[in-house]
Amino acid sequence: MADNQNRDQWGSKIGLILAMAGNAVGLGNFWRFPYIAATNGGGAFMIPYFFALIVIGLPTMLVEWTIGRYGGAHGHGTVGPMVYIQAKKAISPKKAIILGSVCGAIGFGVTVLVNSYYTHIIGWSLGYAVNSLTGGYVGVDSGAFFVNYVTDPKNLIFWIIGLASLGWAVMKGVSEGIEAWAKVMMPAIYVFGIILAVRAVTLGAPVNPDWSSMKGLNFVWNPDLSQLTSASIVTATGQIFFTLSLGMGIICNYASYLQPDEDIVTASVATVALNEFAEVILAGTSVIPISYAFLGPEGIKGSIGLAFMALPNVFTTMAGGRIFGAVWFFLLFFAGFTSAIAMYNYLVALLEEELGVQRKKGALLIFVLYLIVGAPIAAEGIITGEANLIYFTEVDNWIGNYLLIVLGLLEVITLAWLVRDDGLVEMNKGGLWHVPKWFYKLFHQFLTPICIIVFLGIFTRDYW
């Protein structure tokens, strides 16, 4: 077993929290949340969303930090082996190896699959930043521009640039680069997000008098319960996993670089709070109302391209909009980049620490793997000539609705039922705040796993 003497560690507490926020805050907040929330009824979606946040998201976040720090102290930065280490105390080593390998393999596979499309949206953000600067989308209908964008093979260059930059950043190592960038860029995302939200609520009704941005705000915050479906319950849970970077072991990996006495509880709560502010307050008050104002109550539903089809409309009508648009899309690129680095680093750490693959080789291997799994998505728009990316949407549905949630369930059960009370002791080691025993028993042992199982059951009942 490796020891942790040569492992990287985060430099400062604020750096750690911003790096974790950089990991969680990403395209999931500004691209995925608006399209998923709008497609699932807006306000009606927010009810299961908040429920899943408290009952499933926060407890699972605590679990990943706990497993992560424990694993890091034993020289492992990824979920499978950590589950193994933890479970070893409670079950036979043979079973533990099986469980650990299964979790590691699912984590690896799901992360690669997420990146088959996630890296494309990073590319879109970069491409849109460049098109803002050059005025590429000025005077063109934003919907039509999006169709042209995803069907034009030339734009794949932005995907490749994004991928190459990711590979390069990961080869250089974790803590310094990510922390330094996150300290500058994360606050910038919040400041620009607030400006965009103010612009959104003062937008009025630029296209149709019935489609004001205020009505768009109402659409998110005033639930129409008739829109609540069983599908939206599990979709909301999946969005919580996606946006908080849970269910793959990514948070575990970052937490494995913690100092041994780090305050897990405060740091977890801070990560969740920063992420939710960006998602619900900023994206909910900017991207959704803007999309509503330009696309209307029907147009806002169903398209994975929503954020890209709606926002350029605003920038083209703003003073200094081209610069503002470029800055916004570049920040989006950065938000996606920091999340993608977290995923990439996790995969490389898994290869390095568990299979002995040298870091540089691992980074190259993942780069090639990303190119291969990303190829069908790259090809889809070009071949069909449409922006209605069916394969892409399907993969994203599978990730959000099943895969992340199943792995999250395994993590919670491992800690709360195999490691049991020692899990709570580990969680509370160091730090100011402690998770009380009743909370651990009520949430980690019962509510969280039961709700996940029930939600998955409800959702899949059509199949059995």
List residues near ligand PHE by CB under 6 A: 24, 26-29, 242-243, 245, 248, 250, 339, 342-343
Choice between 30 and 146, CB closer to ligand PHE: 30
User: CA nearest 346: which of 180, 87, 106?
Assistant: 106
Q: Which residue has the tokens 């009508």?
A: 317
**What is the Cα–Cα distance from 223 to 280, expressed in whole angstroms?**
15
How far apart are CB 436 and ligand PHE at their closest, in Å? 28
End-to-end CA, the chain: 43
Report the alpha-carbon angle 74-75-77, nearest 5.
110
Q: Which residue has the tokens 């690896």?
A: 108
How far apart are CB 464 and ligand PHE at their closest, in Å? 29
**What is the Cα–Cα distance from 392 to 305, expressed in whole angstroms?**
11
Choice between 29 and 40, CB closer to ligand PHE: 29
How far apart are CB 57 and ligand PHE at their closest, in Å? 11
Beta-carbon contacts of 440 under 8 Å, excluding residues fewer than 6 positions away, are: 416, 423, 424, 427
Report the alpha-carbon angle 33-35-39, nearest 5.
115
- φ, ψ dihedrals at 96, nearest 5°: -65, -40
**What is the Cα–Cα distance from 140 to 142, expressed in whole angstroms?**
6
Q: Which two three-digit tokens encode residue 460?
A: 């899949």
How far apart are CB 116 and ligand PHE at their closest, in Å? 13
Choice between 294 and 344, CB closer to ligand PHE: 344
Q: What is the DSSP string of 141-185?
A: -HHHHHHHHHH-GGGHHHHHHHHHHHHHHHHT-SHHHHHHHHHHH
Choice between 334 and 455, CB closer to ligand PHE: 334
State the Rg of the chain over Cα.
21
Choice between 29 and 268, CB closer to ligand PHE: 29
**Helix (H, G, I), strand (E, B), or coil: what is residue 223?**
coil
How far apart are CB 432 and ligand PHE at their closest, in Å? 26
Beta-carbon contacts of 239 under 8 Å, excluding residues fewer than 6 positions away, are: 28, 32, 33, 36, 37, 49, 52, 400
Choice between 243 and 445, CB closer to ligand PHE: 243
How far apart are CB 209 and ligand PHE at their closest, in Å? 35
Q: Which two three-digit tokens encode residue 201?
A: 């609520």
How far apart are CB 250 and ligand PHE at their closest, in Å? 4
Choice between 24 and 427, CB closer to ligand PHE: 24
How far apart are CB 208 and ligand PHE at their closest, in Å? 31
Choice between 122 and 290, CB closer to ligand PHE: 122
CB atoms within 10 A of CB 235: 24
Burial of 77 (0-12, 13-18, 19+ CB in 10 A): buried
Instruction: Give the CA diameter of the chain.
Output: 67
Choice between 36 and 147, CB closer to ligand PHE: 36
**What is the Cα–Cα distance from 336 to 352, expressed in whole angstroms?**
24
How far apart are CB 61 and ligand PHE at their closest, in Å? 11
Beta-carbon contacts of 356 under 8 Å, excluding residues fewer than 6 positions away, are: none
Choice between 27 and 217, CB closer to ligand PHE: 27
| Sequence letter at residue 422 | D
Cα torsion 204, 207, 208, 209: sign: positive
How far apart are CB 69 and ligand PHE at their closest, in Å? 18
Q: Which two three-digit tokens encode residue 245?
A: 């970077």
How far apart are CB 190 and ligand PHE at their closest, in Å? 15
Which residue lies nearest ligand PHE, judged by its C-beta? 28
Choice between 170 and 342, CB closer to ligand PHE: 342
